[in-house]
Amino acid sequence: MRGDYYSDYGERPAAGRRSVVLRVLDWVLTPVTVAVGAAMLLTYFVPYVNPGRVWFLPVLGLAAPGVYVASVVLLLYWIIRWRWVQAGAMLLLVAAGLGKVSLFWRPEIRRSYEEKISERGTFGVMTYNVRGFYGEEGRSSVDEVVRLIREQNPDIVCLQEFNGRLAGASEAFRLLGEEYESARFGAEKDPDPSDDAGLAILSKYRILRSETVLTPHSSVWADVLIGDDTVRIFNDHLHSTAINADDNEYITTRRFLSDTAREVKLRSIVTRLRENSELRAAQVDSIAAQIGATRTGRIVCGDFNDTPVSYVYRRMAAGLEDAFSRCGSGYSHTYRGFFNTLRIDYVLYSDEFRAVAYGVLPVEYSDHHPVVVRLKRLKKSS
């Protein structure tokens, strides 16, 4: 009896301390939950509001995956704490976003891209922002990119920031031209030989015609003949975020935490994000109109410079399927920066096709990763 008495006596202070800690944690996390819940709710409006009307929504869209994860963590915490009002509110918000999860993450339960590329009746598509063919040390990466294309052997290649001058100086690229027909726009035709912002579409299929949708070097298309069908390939490079390498380093290395001038620097970054979001919104309205008016099968590729939670993505993907959302796996990012969290390069397609394989290649020839997709034709274009 005496032993039980002292045993209980010794446990009560520890249990009491735990209770106090949990109450303090509840008190701290309650306003955090309100803030995260409000942010979560706002992310659902991001794709539907033109950035010119509410400037901060595009910035919030960048953080959408993190906001969703934070919401799930808080939901689990409140369930464990048996706080059903908080848990119920977070559950509603999390459940409302379940349909958007596949834009960023898919369970890794399917075969890899390499295991699926052999499926019969399919063809390969690659999209790659090659950064003017400048590698990490400012040297030409043309030969490396050509080698990559040969290894992957896609039937259609869409290149952004294509530098015709460096491509023309490469024997490897010239030899690649013997295997692919090409439609080039910008760079090599401009009076400024240093221009590296062109677009190029390479195709093993016959190119019937090609046109510019939006200048300068923002959107182009080429009609290719796949079997008996004419398929329109759109290659897009929307306005940059204007976040440069210094900005990326400033954020990812957390220098802003100790920088006394961080307010000015961060305001500059946010201002550029806002202004360029507005420019992309204007671009995508014009491009989406042309995509929607196309009556043949459509494949839309490129660097949109925006995440799947954005006005740009919603407008561009209207009526189309996203290859990653259909057959990707894991968490996909295509931009080599900003903590490797941004998927801004896409392959979209109309219902004449079905995606059977999706991959992002972990090469470092640019500040982007190339995206490779296998598509299968389902029916003839009307």
Q: Is 248 exposed, middle or buried (0-12, 13-18, 19+ CB in 10 A)?
A: middle
Residue 185 belongs to a domain: yes
Q: Are residues 19 and 122 in the same domain?
A: no
The rounded distance, in Å, linking the Cα atoms of 206 and 214 is 23
Full-model pTM: 0.87
Domains of the chain: total: 2
Phi, psi of 159 (to 5 degrees): -115, 135
Q: Which residue has the tokens 């190119």?
A: 207
Q: Are residues 90 and 123 in the same domain?
A: no
Do residues 187 and 195 lie in contact, with contact meaning Cβ atoms separated by under 8 Å? yes
Q: Are residues 92 and 120 in the same domain?
A: no
Please give the structure tokens belonging to residue 190: 């401009």
Phi, psi of 215 (to 5 degrees): -105, 165
Residue 108 belongs to a domain: no
Average pLDDT of adjacent 10-residue blocks, the chain of 382 residues = 50 70 90 96 94 83 92 96 94 93 81 60 96 87 97 97 93 95 74 65 97 88 96 95 63 63 71 82 94 96 95 96 95 88 96 96 95 89 46
Q: What is the pLDDT of residue 248?
A: 60
Q: Are residues 90 and 142 in the same domain?
A: no
Q: What is the pLDDT of residue 194?
A: 45
The rounded distance, in Å, linking the Cα atoms of 316 and 320 is 8
Residue 297 belongs to a domain: yes
Q: Which residue has the tokens 């925006």?
A: 306
| Domain-ending residue, one of 33, 64, 96 | 96
The rounded distance, in Å, linking the Cα atoms of 210 and 16 is 74
Q: Are residues 122 and 88 in the same domain?
A: no
The candidate with the shortest Cα–Cα distance to 110, out of 361, 325, 345, is: 325
Please give the structure tokens belonging to residue 172: 């490897």
The candidate with the shortest Cα–Cα distance to 317, out of 273, 284, 282, 294, is: 284
Q: What are the start-end ranges of the H helices in 188-310? A: 245-252, 262-293
Whole domain around residue 300: which residue ranges? 115-377
Q: Are residues 52 and 163 in the same domain?
A: no
Q: Are residues 180 and 37 in the same domain?
A: no
Q: Are residues 353 and 250 in the same domain?
A: yes
Q: Are residues 333 and 203 in the same domain?
A: yes
Residue 130 belongs to a domain: yes
Residue 109 belongs to a domain: no
Residue 329 belongs to a domain: yes
Do residues 184 and 175 lie in contact, with contact meaning Cβ atoms separated by under 8 Å? no
Q: What is the pLDDT of residue 145?
A: 97
Concatenated DSSP letters for 331-372? Answer: E---BS-GGGT---EEEEE-TTEEEEEEEE----SSSB--EE
Burial of 99-111, coded b for 16+ CB within 10 Å and e otherwise, reads: ebeebbbbeeeee
Q: Are residues 122 and 64 in the same domain?
A: no
CATH of the domain at 330: 3.60.10.10
Q: Are residues 92 and 126 in the same domain?
A: no
The rounded distance, in Å, linking the Cα atoms of 126 and 87 is 43
Residue 318 belongs to a domain: yes
Residue 220 belongs to a domain: yes
Do residues 83 and 321 lie in contact, with contact meaning Cβ atoms separated by under 8 Å? no
Ramachandran region of residue 153, left (φ > 0), alpha (ψ -120 to 50) or beta? left
For residue 328, the tally of other CB atoms under 10 A from its CB is 26
Q: What is the pLDDT of residue 14?
A: 67
Question: Which stretches of the chain are assigned E, i.e. beta strand?
Answer: 105-106, 122-129, 156-162, 181-185, 198-203, 206-214, 219-226, 229-237, 297-303, 321-322, 330-331, 345-349, 353-360, 371-377
The rounded distance, in Å, linking the Cα atoms of 145 and 154 is 13
For β-strands 206-214 and 219-226, DSSP reports them as antiparallel
Q: Helices 2-43 and 64-80 meet at what angle, rounded to 10? A: 150
Q: Are residues 78 and 154 in the same domain?
A: no
| Domain-ending residue, one of 33, 68, 96 | 96
The rounded distance, in Å, linking the Cα atoms of 205 and 125 is 12
Q: What is the pLDDT of residue 192?
A: 46
| Domain-ending residue, one of 27, 61, 96 | 96
